[in-house]
Structure 1
Amino acid sequence: MEKEVLAELLSKDLIVGHVYRYDGNEQVYYFENSPSNIANFIMLHKEHANKMILTDRLDRLVLNTFGEFINRCPNQELLQKILKDLVPMQMGDKDPVSIPVAGEEEVQTFWDEEEQNVIKTEFRML
């Protein structure tokens, strides 16, 4: 993902998607928080996911799944909004669409570079 696009994505309200694969490995992704994006993320990752845990950036549970099926979502109002997009995809009446998603490694690299730039700026001010 281009640096400018990544910076724009990371400036938004984000969901952190933890995808637990059938082989036991975990992959972490960041994407913009919206009911539609959550539904698309679930369906785009269902082929490789034993389970998914979606949190906010403060690690508060948004929802968790078994494969493509929501197991727990504490916010029932949000759940109803997600299901409006998710159920038609699960039934095959609607295709998931690609959404901007950043992987954990590229996000961490971006944040490390930003931190280094801040440190350099602070040293120049001394």
Structure 2
Amino acid sequence: MTEQENPNLYSPLTLAFLGDAVYELCARAYVVAQQNRPVGELHQQVVTLVNAGAQSAALERLLPLLTPEELAIFKRGRNASASSVPKHAEIADYRRATGVEALFGYLFLKGERQRLEMLFAKMNGLQE
């Protein structure tokens, strides 16, 4: 891992910025793998997975699985002061979703793809 890839060097909001894209990619890959459908239907299904409310609700399935290091990253993301105000979410849901996204960005930078896929599956009830 190069110095630039060290996830500990990034702010929690930068990790969340990256993690937002990683989480959406996980959702898109999952939805496309289920069935070949029109793009509009795929998009609608992805939207139900990637909004702040859904991420916040799914968090309860995720928290017991996190290592102490992962929990610390989640908390850094959750507690970060964002300059933007959520338009379609409660502030508490938005903060928890930011924590989830920071964790996903962190794991992506660490190259832990299997861990990302497992956590995404557990969060969304895709794996027991």
TM-score, scaled relative to structure 1: 0.24
| Bigger strand share | 1
Larger RCO (CA within 8 A; separation ≥ 6): 2
Bigger CA radius of gyration = 1
TM-score (norm 2): 0.24
* Between structures 1 and 2, the one with greater helix share: 2
